[in-house]
Structure 1
Amino acid sequence: MKYYTALSLLLLSVVSSAKPAYSPAPSQSTLPAPQQVLGFTVGDWHARHDQIQRYFEQLDAASARAQLEVIGYSHEQRPLLQLVLSSERNMQRLEQIRQQHVAAARDGATLPDDAPVVIWLGYSVHGNEPSGANAAMLVAQYLAAAETAEVKQWLENAIILLQPVLNPDGHDRFALWANMHKGAAPVADPQHREHIEPWPNGRPNHYWFDLNRDWLLLQHPESRARIAQYQQWLPNVVGDYHEMGTNSSYFFQPGIPSRNYPLTPKRNFELTAELAQFHAAAFDERGQLYYTEESFDDFYVGKGSTYPDIQGSVGILFEQASSRGHLQDSINGPLSFSATIQNQLTASLSTIRGAVAKRAELLAYQQSFYKSALQQARASKIKGYMLTESADKTRLAALLDVLQRHHVQVYALSRDWQDDDNSYAAGSSYYVPLQQPQYRLIKAMFSTEKTFKDNTFYDVSAWTLPYAYNIAFTALNREPASSLLSSSWPAAPAKAPPLTAGAYAYAFNWQDQQAPLFLQALLAEQLVVRAAMKDFSALSGDGEISLPAGSMVVAAGLQQQQDWFERLQRVQQRFTLPLQAIRSGLTPTGSDLGSHNFSPVQLPQVLLLAGPGMSSTEAGEAWYNLERLAGISPSMAEPQRLAQLDLSRYSHIILPDGNYRSWQDTEVTKLRQWLEQGGVLWGHKGGAAWLARVGLLKTGVWQGEEMSSLIPADNLQYQDKELLAGKQRIAGAIYQAELDLSHPLTFGLTSNRLPVFKNSTSLLQPSHKPFVNVALYSEQPQLAGYTAAEYLPRIKQSAVLLAHNAGKGRVIAMTDNPVFRGYFYGSSRLLVNALYLGHSFSADAG
C-alpha cells in the first residue's frame, strides 16, 4: 500500500510540476497574475467565465492602463466583458480619442498626428474553442504589466479593445465538460471521452446558435452588445480568434483569394497580407507551423473577420488547431491546451505589433474607405432602397431596428410619394439612401447577386435582409425630396386604449407579428378564441370594419371564466395590437360570428425533437423562434427517447433537420397512432424527408445522388474535385415560393410570394392531389445567391410546403428551414400558423 501511495504521489508531482511557461511574460510586476487569482496556472484547467471575469476585475482595479466594462449580458445572464487597454495618458482622454477617431473615419475630420490606432481582439465566439479566452488573460496581463520599451510604444500608439469571451454560455458548457473529465494525468487518446463532446456541444450559445454568423443579423444579445461597441469605436484592425481541427496547425489570413467579398477594397487585402508578415515572423521565431490562403474565405459579411472588412476595418481570422480538452494526439504530435494558448498569445501580440507599425496606413485606409464609399454612392445609378410594409408594422420595425444598430441611416416618408408607376405611402414606407458612410454595408445587406467569380462558398452565398423579413423593397434611381423624409419616428407604437366592456365580441387582425404572441397570452389566460376562415366585416363602435381571414375573435358568449373580461384587459395592455370591439354577431359581409367558418383555436402543447443525430443549430433555431414569435416554450426530447414518451401530452410534434436513423417500426407506429388520434406533425428539411420516406407524408423526395447526378461530371481532372463539389452544393441561397393565400397555413401573409432560404439539395415532390400543395417554388425561383443552372428546372418543379390529413391529425412538411438563423421572420409565419391553425384545414392526400 505504501508503495502504491508513494508512486501515486510521485506521478502527481511529475504532472503538476510540468507547468507551461508562456512567452513573453512580464517580469517583477506588482499586478495580479492570472494564476494568483485562478488558483492554477493558465492551461492547467479550462477557466470558467466567472474566473476570467474575476481576474479582469482585479487587473482593472490594480492597473491604470486597463478599464473593464460590462457591455451587456448573455442569454444566461453572464456579463459580456470588454477590457480597454492603453497608456495612462490615453486612458485619461479615452472618450476624446474615441470621438476624434469616429469623426475622422465617417465625417472626414482631421486626425492629430499622434492619433492611436484602434485594435479589437475578440476571443472564443465558439464556446468550445477556448484557447483564445484563456490566452486573453495572458494578453491582458502582459499589456498591463510589462515595462518594455516595445509595450510602452504599443500602448502610446494604440487603443486595444479586448473582449475575452464572446460566447460565455457556450464557453462554460465546454469548460465544465473538459474539466469534469480531467484525470491526474492528461489522456491524449482522441477517443477519450473528454475529446468527444455530447450534443449540442459547447460551440453555440444558449439557444444553440452559431454567434459567428450573427454579426450582421443581430438576433442575440451577445451580438447586439458586441456590435454596439464596434460601431461606437470603429476599430482599424479586428482579430477574430478561433480553433479548427486537431490535425491542423495554425491559420491566419489572407484566405482564399478568389473568395473575397467583391465590395471589399483591394487595399484591405493588401493590408491583411502586410500584417501577415508580422504573424509569420512571430511564428517563425517560435518554430511553429502555420499556413495562409487556404480553407477559409472572406465572403459572407456576417462573420467576425468579414463584417469589419465592409466597414473600413481589416478583419483577420485566426484558427488554432484544437486540443478539445487538455491534451490530444494529432498528426503533428501531442497537442496540449497550453500550446494552443501560447499560439493565441503569439498571434495576439503580433496583431498589435503589426497594427502599431502600420498605424498611419491603417488610419489613412479607414478614412479613404468612407470617402470612396460616398464617391461611389454619388456615381451609382441606384440612389437608395424603399422599404414598404403596411400590414405588419412589427416585422417592419424589426428590420429597421437591425439597420439602425448598424448605423444605417433610414428615413420615414412623411407624405405619400409617387415614383413613376410606383406609389409609396407615408407611415408604411422607409427610405434607405446609399449616399451615406455605410454605402458598402447597405449594398451587401440588399444584394441580390446570383453569379460569382468563385462558386465555392465556406458559408452562405446570400443573406438579403429584406427578403428574410419578407419586406418589399425597391431600388430607386431617384430620391424623394428631402422635405418628404423624416429621420425620426416613434420607436414603438403606443399602447392600445383601454377596452370598453359590454361588446358582443372582440377581434384582432392576424397579420401583425405580435398577433401570435397576443393569441398565446389569451389562450394561457383560458379565454376561448375562434379563428376566421374567411374574410368578413363586422360592426364596431366606429362603424363597419373589415377583418381578413385568420383574424381572431373572442366572443363573449363562449367565455367560461367569470372574470374573462378582466383577463382580456390584462393581456391587451401588454401589446400594441388593436383589439376591435364588435357590437353584433350579425356581420354585414362574410360569415356571422356563430358560423362554422370560425374555427376553434387551442393552446398548443409542443414537443420539439432535439438530440443526437439532429442539427443542433436548426433545433435551436426552432426553439428560439417558437419562444420569440409564437410565445411557446416547447418540451424537448432526444429522438432516441421517443418510444418511452407519453405523446398524449402533446398537440404538436416538430421534427427539425436530422437523420432520424435511430427510429424503427416502433417509433413510426407510435407516431402514426398519435397522428391518427389528432396530433399535428411538422417536419422540415431532413425531418420532412424522413416523413416521406416512412410514408407518413404522402409524397416523394428528390435528394442526394439523384440531385448530384444533374451536374455533369464527365472529363474532369482531379484538380476539378472542389469545383464539382461547389456546383453540387447549395451552400445557402434565397428562393421564391408561391403561396395559396386561401389556405389557413398562409393566413397573415398578404402576398402570394414569399422568400425562403435553402441550404440543401433536398426537394419535396408536389402532390397530385388537390389542396395539399400549400406552397410551390415559382417559375423563376432564384432570388439571390448561387445555384447551379442544372438545378433550377428541378427546383421549380418542387413543393415548398405540403399539408394533409392523417386520420384526425395533420402532417405538415416544408422543404426548407422556415426559421433559418432566426432572422427569416417572413417564412417563420408558416411554422407559427401550423401551431395555431394546424387543425383549421382538411386535405385528403389519398
Structure 2
Amino acid sequence: MKKSFLGFLLLLFSPWAAAQNPSPAEHLGYPLGNKFTYHHRVVEYVRTLAEKNPDRVKLIPYGSTYEGRPLLVAVVATPENLARLETIRTDNLKNIGLLAGTASGPIPALAWLSYNVHGNEAVSSEAVMQVMYELLNPGNPTTQGILKNTVVILDPCLNPDGHDRYTEWYNRVAAVLPNASPFAWEHTEPWPGGRYNHYLFDLNRDWAWQLQKESQERLKLYNQWMPHLHADFHEMGSASSYYFPPAARPFHKDITAWQREFNNTLGEYSRRYFDKNSWLYFTRNNYDLFYPSYGDTWPTYNGAIGMTYEQGGGGRAGVAIARENEGDTLTLKDRIAHHFATSMSTLEAISSRSEKTVQEFVKYHETARTNPIGTYKSYVIRTKGEEGRLNAFRELLDNQGIQYGLAGRDFSAKGTNLASLADENVKFESTDLVISAYQPKSTLLKILFEAKPDLEDSVTYDITSWGMAYAYGLKAYGLKDKLTPAAYKASPMTNTVPATPPYAYLVRWKSFDELRMLSDLMQQKIRVRTSQVPFEIDGSTYEAGTLVITRKGNEALGARFDQLLAETATKYQVRLIPAQTGFVTQGSDFGSGDVAPMRAPKVVAVAGEGVSPLAFGEVWHFFEQQIKYPLTVVQGDALSRVPWREVDVLILPTGTYGRILTEKVLSDLKDWVRNGGRLIAMESAVNYLADKPDFDLKRKKSEDKKEKTELFKQYANREREAASDETPGSIYRVKLDPTHPLAFGYGDTYYALVRDTYNLDYLASGWNVGYLGNEAYSAGFVGKNARERLKNTLILGVQDMGRGQVVYMADDPLFRGFWYNGKLLFGNAVFR
C-alpha cells in the first residue's frame, strides 16, 4: 500500500502518464494543485477518459443545475461488469424488493463517491480527476484489484454553480504566486460565497427534503441504483486537520450493528494512509450520524454504508494558506493528496468486504419488508379537506421511493397522533392514505416520521427533530397493527365551467396550493377578494381567509373569466366552489367591507453583506420557484436609494442589520411603513428592531436575582454546559389567534421548528398572533436554560404603525424550504 501511494505522489507531481489515458496534468495543462479547475474542464476530463475507455466507463447524465451546468456520474468497472451493468443494477433492486423478479446471480458491491457538494470546498473536484485516472490505470494493482469485485460510481461535482462561483472569483483575484497570508485578498471570499447552489441552499442539508433541482435529479438516479456505500467529500476550516470515521455521537439508534462496524473499518483503512505519511487527523468528533438529510445519514437510512470526509481548508484556504496554529502552510496539493487517499481507502475497505457488504444490504431490506423496526407497523394520514397538503406529502414519498396506498374501506382503530403523541380512537375513511411499514424503505419511513428521535448525546451537529406530521401539518397516526393498503389511484381534480355563470367562486384557504394559485391569478390581473370573517352560504361554512372571486371587478375578461379561472385552479388542483349569490346566511355579504379586495403587492427582499445567504436564499427560492411571483432583490447598502413609493412589502431575512439599517435608513423605513408599507422582519432582524424607538417589540426583562456561581465547573465540560443554553432545532406548539389574517388557514395551533432561544415579550399594543405558553415544548433537544427562556415568549406578532404594519416572525417558517406547514404562514404575511 505504501509503495502504491508513493507511486500516486509521483503521478500527481510529475508528467508521467499511462500510454492510453492523459493524466489530469496533461489534459489541463497544469499540475493538479497549481490552480482551481473550472467545472466545464472537470467534466471535459471525465468525458475524455470515458471516450478513451468505452469498455470500462459509462457516463450517465442525470440533469442540469439552475444555471444550466451539466450533472453527471461516471460508472467505472471491469469490461466484464460494464457489459452487464444494467443487469447488475436491476439485480440489486430485485435483491432488496424494489423491483419485481429474482436476481440472475451474485453482483459486485456498488460504491458511490460524491464530490464537491459545497462549491467552495473545491478540492474534491480536483481529487476526483486523479481518482478516476487511477481507477483506469492498468499499472495500478490496488485499483485494478478494487474493480474485480466493486463497481465505482463517481459524481465529480454535486454543486457546479457554487463551484464555479468560487473558482471564477478565486482565479480572478489570486496572485500569480499564491499569497499564503491569511489577510490576502484571495483568502477573503465575498458574499454570498461559493458554498451554496444558485438559490443559496445548502445541498448537503437537502438529501431527504429534495427542494432543490440538483437534489431531485441526483436522488432520482440514486434510487435507480441504491448503492451499498456512499462517501461524501467535504472541507472544514483551514486550521483543522482531517476528519474521517468513526463518526461522533450521537448515532441514530436504528443504525445497524454492521453499519457501525463498517464505520470503524473505514477508519482503520484511512489510518493506514495517514499514519504512514505522518498526516494529522481526528475521528469521533463533531460529525455525528443523526439528522436524516445529509450525504452520510440519508444513504445510511437507505441501508448503505454512509460516511463523511472532511479536509481542513475550505474556501478561505485557496491554493496555499499559512496556518499560525500549525506553523506551516497548507497547500491545495496537500488537500488533494488527502482526499485521494481516503477515496482509495474507502474503495479498498468495501472491496475487502464486497460479498459481506452485499449480503448485509440485502438483509437490511429483507428485515424492513418482513420485520420492520419501530412501534408502528402502519401509518394512516387523514385526507378529507387536506388534499393540498397530501399532494405535497405524496410528492415527498415518491421522491424517497416510499410505497403507499389507500385504506380502501372505512374502519376504526386505536392510533397515536403523531403530533400530540396522544393515543386516540379514530374513525378512518376509505380514502385515507395508508403507508405500511412492511416495505424495503421502512427504516427511512420510520425515521422521517419520528416525533421524538432518541438522542444519545445532547451535543449535536444539527436539528434534533423533524417529524413529518409537524413539517406538513398532517393529521397522521401511527398504528401498531399491520394494514395492507389498497392500490393508490391518482384522480386529478378538474374544475369545469358551470352552465349558469355563478355570482362568485369560493376557494377555501387551506394549503400552499391555494397560495400558488393566488399568485398566478394576481399575475393574470384577475381580481380576488378575501373574507376577513367566517361565513355560511348554501348550508356550508367557510373559515376566515376564504378567497371570494366575484364576477364584479373582472368584467374586462368577459367570457374568458370563467375558463381562465377553471384552468388556473385545476393547474394547482384547487377546487372552485360556485356561489350563485352574494348573500350569506351568516357572516358578511360579499359586498361588505369584511370581504376585502387583495392587491398584488410589489415585494422587495434585502440581500448582500450582513444578510444570511441561506435565509435570503429561502425567500428568493420561495418567490421564484415555489409561487413564481415577482421579487425585487435589493442590496442592503442600496436601501437608502430605494424609491419607497414603488414598494409595498419589504422583507428582512435574518442577518446583522447594524450597518444596513443606519439611523437615516431606519427613519425612512418607518415613514414608509406609516404611509402604508408592510415590513416583514425575520429571526435576527426581529431582534435588531426590538427595543428600538417606535417599535413596540421589547425583549423580556431579566429577573433581578443573583445566580449561584459554580466555582469548580470543569473546563472539559464547556461544550456540554453551553448546550444547556441552546436549542439546535426542536419542535414547539405555537398558540395562534385564528382570527388574525396572519394565521388564516391554520386554526389555533401551529408547530414551529425552533432554533433559537427567543427572549421576546408579548406586544403591549399590537397583535400577539403566535406565542409560546408555559407548556409549548413538543419534541427535540432543548437545553434546560433555553427551555425556561422559551416559556411565554412571542413568536409571531403584528404591529400597526400608521397606515402600515410591521410583521415580526421570530421563527423562520421557510427554514431550508422543507417546513411545508410554514409556507402558507409566510404567504399570509406577504399577501394579507
SS of match in other structure, 1:764: coil
In structure 2, distance between residues paired with 1:242 and 1:451: 27
| In 2, Cα distance between equivalents of 1:49 and 1:707 | 58
What's the secondary structure of 1:762's corresponding residue? coil
Return closer, same or farther for 1:785/1:495 CA change in 2, 3 Å cut-off. same
Cα distance in 2 for residues equivalent to 1:296 and 1:70: 31
Does the 8 Å contact 2:12/2:31 carry over to 1?
A: no
More deviation, 558-567/289-298? 558-567
Deviation at 1:781, TM superposition (A): 1.7
Q: Does 1:602 align with 2:599?
A: yes
Q: 1:409 aligns with which of 403, 408, 411?
A: 403
For the residue of structure 1 that corresponds to 2:583, the secondary structure is: coil
Moved more, 290-299 or 650-659: 290-299
Q: Deviations over 1:367-402 (max 9, x none)?
A: 332344456527x54222222243342222212221
1:756 to 752, 758, 765: 752
Q: Which residue among 345, 360, 375 is the counterpart of 1:365?
A: 360
Q: Does the CA contact (< 8 Å) of 2:110 and 2:151 recur in 1?
A: yes
* CA spacing shift, 1:316–1:499, aligned 2, 3 Å: same
CA distance in structure 2 between the aligned counterparts of 1:529 and 1:665, rounded to whole angstroms: 38
Alpha-carbon distance, 1:660 to partner: 0.6
The AA in structure 1 aligned to 2:514 is: A
Partners of 1:573 and 1:489 lie apart in 2 by 18
Residues 261-270 or 284-293, more deviating: 284-293
Cα pair 1:713 1:724 within 8 Å, conserved: no
Q: Which amino acid aligns with 1:87?
A: T
> What are the equivalent positions in structure 2 for 1:341-356 lying under 5 Å apart?
341-356=336-351
Fraction of identical pairs, as percent: 27
Output the amino acid matched with 1:386. V
Cα RMSD (Å) of the superposition?
A: 2.7
Residues in 1 aligned to 2:453 and 2:764: alpha-carbon distance in whole angstroms: 31
Deviation for aligned residue 1:697: 3.5
AA at the equivalent of 2:552: G
Quote how far apart the aligned CAs of 1:205 are: 0.9
- Alignment partner of 1:388 is 2:387: no
By how many angstroms is 1:224 displaced?
Answer: 1.7
| Structure 1 residues 675 and 53: alpha-carbon distance in aligned structure 2, compared to 1, 3 A threshold | same
- For normalisation by structure 2, the TM-score amounts to 0.91
> Equivalent residues in 2 for 1:461-472 (5 A)?
461-472=464-475
Residues of 2 paired with 1:713 and 1:690: CA distance?
Answer: 32
Task: Please state how far the C-alpha of 1:560 moved relative to its aligned partner.
Answer: 6.0
Instruction: Verify the 8 A CA contact 1:212 1:302 in the aligned structure 2.
Output: yes
Counterpart residue type for residue 408 of structure 1: I
Q: Is the 8 A contact 1:697 1:813 kept in 2?
A: no
- Distance of 2:557 and 2:368 partners within structure 1: 63
* Structure 1 alignment gaps of length 5 or more: 1-18, 838-846
| Distance in 2 of aligned mates of 1:279 and 1:76 | 36
Letter of the 1:135 partner, please give it. Answer: A
Residue 477 of structure 1 is aligned with which of 480, 489, 501?
480
State how far apart, in whole Å, the 2-side matches of 1:71 and 1:272 are. Answer: 29
SS of 2:461's partner is coil
Q: Give the length in aligned residue pairs.
A: 805
Which residue pairs with 1:687 in the alignment?
685
8 Å CA contact 1:251–1:319 kept in 2: the answer is: yes
Give the AA of the match of 1:802: G
Alpha-carbon distance, 1:38 to partner: 3.2
Q: Counterparts of 1:95-114 in structure 2 under 5 Å? A: 95-106=86-97
Matched with 1:509 is: 508
Q: Deviations over 1:495-519 (max 9, x none)?
A: 4224657432233222232212221
The answer as to whether partners of 2:724 and 2:784 remain within 8 angstroms in 1 is: no
**Pairing partner for 2:319 from 318, 323, 326:** 326
Structure 2 CA distance for aligned equivalents of residues 708 and 370 of structure 1: 57
Who is 1:42 aligned against? 32
Aligned mates of 1:604, 1:819 — CA distance in 2: 20
Q: Which residue number corresponds to residue 747 of structure 1?
A: 744
Specify the code of the residue in structure 2 equivalent to 1:559: N
| SS state at 1:122 partner | strand
Does the Cα contact within 8 Å between 1:37 and 1:54 map onto a contact in 2?
Answer: no
- Tell me if structure 1 keeps the 8 A contact 2:245–2:266: no
The within-5 A match list for 1:196-595 is: 196-256=188-248, 258-322=249-313, 324-330=317-323, 331-332=325-326, 333-374=328-369, 376-377=371-372, 380-420=374-414, 421-427=425-431, 429-449=432-452, 452-480=455-483, 482=484, 485-490=485-490, 493-498=492-497, 502-538=501-537, 546-559=541-554, 561-563=556-558, 565=561, 568=565, 571-572=568-569, 574-595=571-592
- Checking the alignment, whether the CA contact within 8 Å between 1:732 and 1:759 is kept in structure 2 is yes
1:670 corresponds to which residue?
A: 668
SS at match of 1:328: strand
Of 780, 796, 801, 1:806 maps to 801
Query: Aligned equivalents of 2:481 and 2:741: distance in 1?
Result: 40
Cα offset, 1:489, TM superposition? 2.3
Alignment of 1:617-696 (within 5 A): 617-662=614-659, 663-696=661-694
Deviation, structure 1 residue 687: 1.2
Q: What is the CA–CA distance in structure 1 between the aligned matches of 2:553 and 2:102, rounded to whole Å?
A: 70
Give the 3-state SS of the residue equivalent to 2:545 in structure 1.
coil
Deviation per CA, 1:519-540: give whole Å up to 9, x if none.
122222222221111223446x
Superposition deviation, residue 154 in structure 1: 1.6
Quote how far apart the aligned CAs of 1:562 are.
Answer: 5.0
Match of 1:729 among 726, 729, 732: 726
Q: Does 1:139 align with 2:141?
A: no
Q: What displacement does 1:91 show?
A: 0.4
Alignment map for 1:12-91 (pairs within 5 Å): 22=12, 27-63=17-53, 64-91=55-82
- Stretches of structure 2 that go unaligned for 5 or more consecutive residues are 1-8, 415-424
* SS of alignment partner, residue 561 of structure 1: helix
For residues 179-205 of structure 1, the C-alpha deviation after alignment (integer angstroms, 9 at most, x for no partner) is 111232111111112111111101011
> Residues of 1 paired with 2:15 and 2:357: CA distance?
28
Give the AA of the match of 1:403: L
2:831 corresponds to 1:836? yes
1:156, 1:775 → 2: CA distance? 61
CA contact (8 A) 2:368 2:441 kept: yes
Distance 1:708 1:349 in 2: 59
- CA pair 424-778 structure 1, distance change in 2 beyond 3 A: farther
| Cα distance, 1:96 vs structure 2 | 1.0
CA distance in 2 between partners of 1:710 and 1:608 (Å): 42
- Using a 3 Å threshold, how does the CA distance of structure 1 residues 776 and 351 change in structure 2: closer, same or farther? same
Corresponding residue number in structure 2 for 1:765:
761
Q: Cα deviation per residue 1:541-595 (whole Å; 9 max; x = unaligned)? A: xxx6543321222222223635562654664464332223332222333222111
Letter in 1 for 2:80: R
CA distance in structure 1 between the aligned counterparts of 2:367 and 2:171, rounded to whole angstroms: 51
Distance in 1 (CA, whole Å) between partners of 2:180 and 2:706 is 42
Query: Which residue matches 1:7?
Result: none
CA contact (8 A) 1:630 1:832 kept: no
Q: Tell me if structure 2 keeps the 8 A contact 1:533–1:550.
A: yes
Give the match's secondary structure for 2:90: helix
Residue identity matched to 1:493? P
Q: Aligned to 1:175, what secondary structure does the other structure show?
A: helix
Among candidates 111, 121, 125, match of residue 119 of structure 1: 111
Indicate if the aligned counterparts of 2:493 and 2:575 stay in contact, CA closer than 8 A: no
Give the 5 Å matches for 1:106-185. Answer: 106=97, 115-185=107-177
Report the Cα distance in structure 2 between the residues aligned to 1:762 and 1:395, rounded to whole angstroms: 29
1:575 & 1:113 partners in 2: Cα distance? 46
